Structure 1
Amino acid sequence: MTAVEKLLGETARADAQRNVRRLVAAAREAVAEVGVDVTAHEIARRAGVGIGTFYRRLPSREALLQAVVEDTVYEIVELAREALRDPDPWHGFCTFAAEFVQLRAMSCGINEALGTDCALSLDAPLEQLREQIRLLVERCQQSGAMRDDVPWQDVPFVLTSVMTGDRTIGLTAADDQWRRNLRVVLAGLRAQQLHTSE
């Protein structure tokens, strides 16, 4: 059962569950656009409900944000597990890398939660995410697809580094700048013998 499902499970009436679902959807949107410091008033406004409804249906703003962000991190864990099921280790890793970076690039709150010490308790999902990334990297290295001189712990930092600001040295980033940067990073991670054989 996901953290959001637990929130829904605490509410029996259908109309109350509809309000909780609206608040969850609004919280996801607000976390992406504003970050994890979004207020309960802003979430309620986006959901089209009053602040009283917010607090009648949910234990707290923190509980809602915890559920939304925790579930999103677990979704990233599942993306990594899917990548591990890909018969081609390098293809699986590249697919995960693109999804991981895109989510961080598109969600201010997830980027904050994964990149800083935020007030949310994410130890369990982050531990699982670290383990899945380690398995992805080691699988690629054992297959000869990825350089073996790169510790798995470096890979999350390298992937995160492809996200840029809107401008640098007077240049404006392209809309897909992170994708361009990711191509360069993946080329750098790939084992050299594969470059020369293509």
Structure 2
Amino acid sequence: MSAAPRAPSSLLPLAAIAAAFAWSFAEATVFFIVADVLLTFIAIAMGLRVALLASLAAAIGAACGGMIMWRHGLVDPVAATNLLAAVPFVSAGMIAKGMASMASADWPLAMLRGSVTGIPYKVYAVAAGKEGLTALLFFGVTIPVRLLRFAVASSLVAAIDAPLRRRFDLRRRLMLLATFWLLFYGEFAWRWFS
């Protein structure tokens, strides 16, 4: 006798976790909208536990996507740097700062600082290849560095959302979050194109 099919709602957390992996993989390569956007929506819609599992999946997705960029930086650093420059919202200054920081002995700390100062992870991945860092070491450092940022973002939004649950329904809370992200990227675009 076969098992009964799972209810569609029980598949939603698995779909969210898979989407977090895919989004973060894409962001580690050429996509330019941070995975934090999806993770924070998951935190509100599905709770902190699912958001933290999605954060882990996103960290692994980033590490996997980072391996593609690492390889590109190893094989053809000029083409890889040109690819970075073609990604929206990645400036020459970000590329130069990220590349320089990966040449130092404290590059894991530089990656951690970069995750909160706006230098895209993809820059560090290309620089790691260019600097000849071993793939396994870079992959291993990526997961905790990315997980820390993703978990903090998810936890912060979940903490802000908790008192709002008494006053607003899910739809309104998601609209508030969408407004935040639209303002965030709007301000970023305004500074970028000014």
- TM-score bin, normalised by smaller chain: 0.3 to 0.5
Which has the larger Rg? 1
> Relative contact order (alpha carbons < 8 A, sep ≥ 6): 1 or 2 greater?
2
Q: Structure 1 length normalisation: TM-score?
A: 0.38
